[in-house]
Structure 1
Amino acid sequence: MEIKRYPKIKVQTILEKGTAVQNEDFLIIQDNILGVFDGATSLNSQKFDQNQTGGTIASHTAGAVFKKNHFPLNQLACQANDAIMAQMVSNGVDTSKKENLWCTSAAVVRLKDQSLEWIQSGDAVIILIYEDGSHRVLVDRKDHDHETLTLWKKLVRTHLPGAGKTHSSPKHGNQTDQQQVIDLMRGKLAGQIRKVRSGMNITYGVLNGEKTAEEFLNQGEETLDRVAHVLIFTDGLSIPQPEPKPRKDFNDLIRTYLNLGLEGLKQMIRSQEEKDPHCLICPRFKCHDDIAAIAVRF
């Protein structure tokens, strides 16, 4: 794909649904603005117009605002946040309770002649890759899901010992027993997930309609000098890791992208995930997460 204003720049994209019924991720390319959004629905899993989840509406609502491309990115982010609140109110959501709120992560860039304007919220990622192969993650943030994934790993070791050590299926009882144990473990995560969700725009930021979301916006402008690639993606493009880390390490991801390209990176991730369908080896929330990703090559 080419951007008319920048004929020498090549753009690759991926927008792919994961294991869930709906793709709550969203992707935009509008002239010189490019962005990805990762929606998350309320904890009550309520559906709305045309059976859409709140996460789907939130990501699409935010993306539609950014596509207008007529203000600085921080102003567009604030407008997107307000638009999410307006959508929740119009759909009768009780916004006084955090667990009812829809939200979306966002990573958006605007290409200029010699620089890159950017804004980020939540766990969406922007990485600059330089001509010498080095890279820089624009927001070095703690993973707000680290505690939850660490608890999941502990539950696997306790209830299905040996299941998380190899890519083979666990040899712990029959398949029905295994699934019952897995369901039990996931039930034990519910309180932890509720705890993390209650920290929105207190311990970490997302666009969810709350005014405090504006305080958690990360933004800046970077020179494009020596930049060879820009990667913008949601966490569905993360390489599965056996041990959760407080901060994600993107070295393997960058190396794989440079060797195989964006599509090759995605296929490698999906292949690893398929070998661990119950998330027992590499803790995560579902076998395949939604992916929205953009690779810009200069």
Structure 2
Amino acid sequence: MKIEQLLLQGSGRFIEDRLVVRSRQRLFGVFDGASSLVPQLYQQRSGAWWAAELAWQTFCQQPDDALLDLARQANQDIAHHMTRFAIDRRNPLHCWSTSAAVFRLLPNHLEWLQCGDCLILAIDRQGQAELLTPYSNHDAETFRQWTAQPDETLPQILQRLRPTIERVRLGMNRDYGVLNGDTAAEAFFCQGRITLDNIQHILAFSDGLLPPLARRDAMPDFSQLARLYLQGGLEGLGQWVRFIEGRDPHCHRYPRFKCHDDVAALAISL
């Protein structure tokens, strides 16, 4: 078994993604934190940093536990720390959150759990890709309204779309799932199990690894992503995504919230 890891900081001040690699327990995963819409730091760290970090700590410290139990505990830990920092957890706009995609390798199977927009992709020995987890783009409504004027800056775009961004955020664990301390998140825990027959590579990654799209409400081409991975590994895939993003620094052609998102990705080759 070969393990490849990629962790890249984006345009933000903190790296708010995390990787879990526990080879002995054959437990692997990624987390992608999101801050509240209230710009505030907690012990000099963002809410997104805390959410991803707390989930990461839970999975790292209790790697033998069942995936479902770990996800529930991570969600509880996020709730506990927000209470500790006197955050109004009743208001979704104030809550930290993180997406998660984790899996465990068993002798002949793989079991996985996902919540949010982190993903797990399997590639078979013929190079064909299969997305194991559901694909969720809860920001599609925002991106449909993105069309920027030539002289409009990214902060101006975000300010114009603030009402839509807030409306989407209010849908956490109502319209889409994230770990944000709300027990309602458990209804959005997606789980699955597949046989490892004919599987050669398993990728888990945050959405920062997805190739940029001019229409962000469109479905990503996961076959293309698999081909790019097979050609250049995670490092080559990450460099290609960063190159495309770098040609659109103001996010006009490819709608997104910042030039470069954080990337957390791992690949297991069997």
Length-normalised TM-score, structure 2: 0.96
Aligned to 2:162: 190
2:67 is matched with which residue: 61, 68, 73?
Answer: 73
**Which one has a bigger Cα radius of gyration?**
1
Q: Helix, strand or coil: the match of 1:203?
A: coil
Residue pair 1:229, 1:295 contacting (<8 A) in 2 also = yes
- Residue 214 of structure 1, CA deviation: 0.4
Identity of aligned residues (%): 40
CA distance in 1, matches of 2:4, 2:135: 26
1:19 is matched with which residue: 11, 20, 23?
Answer: 11
2:28 is matched with which residue: 16, 34, 40?
Answer: 34
- Residue 246 of structure 1, CA deviation: 4.3
Q: Helix, strand or coil: the match of 1:69?
A: coil
- Residue 183 of structure 1, CA deviation: 3.5
- Residue 141 of structure 1, CA deviation: 2.8
CA distance in 2, matches of 1:109, 1:254: 19
Deviations 1:123-150 (A, max 9, x none): 0000011011111111233411111111
2:224 is matched with which residue: 238, 247, 252?
Answer: 252
- Residue 293 of structure 1, CA deviation: 0.3
Q: Helix, strand or coil: the match of 1:261?
A: helix
Structure 2: state its 5+ residue gaps.
none
Aligned to 1:55: 48
- Residue 182 of structure 1, CA deviation: 4.4
Aligned to 2:145: 151
CA distance in 2, matches of 1:54, 1:245: 26
What does 1:179-258 correspond to in 2, within 5 Å?
A: 181-258=153-230
CA distance 1:272–1:78, shift in 2 (3 Å): same
CA distance 1:42–1:183, shift in 2 (3 Å): closer
Residue pair 1:106, 1:124 contacting (<8 A) in 2 also = yes
Aligned to 2:130: 136
Q: Helix, strand or coil: the match of 2:165?
A: helix
Aligned to 2:118: 124
Deviations 1:53-85 (A, max 9, x none): 111011010111111112210111001101100
Letter in 2 for 1:87: H
CA distance in 2, matches of 1:141, 1:292: 17
Length-normalised TM-score, structure 1: 0.87
1:293 is matched with which residue: 255, 261, 265?
Answer: 265
- Residue 203 of structure 1, CA deviation: 0.6
CA distance in 1, matches of 2:34, 2:128: 32
Letter in 1 for 2:138: H
Runs of 4+ in 1 over 6 A off after TM superposition: none
Deviations 1:230-287 (A, max 9, x none): 0000011010111223433312211111111111011111111111101111111110
Residue pair 1:143, 1:248 contacting (<8 A) in 2 also = no
Q: Helix, strand or coil: the match of 1:120?
A: strand
CA distance in 2, matches of 1:42, 1:290: 17
Is 1:88–2:82 an aligned residue pair? yes
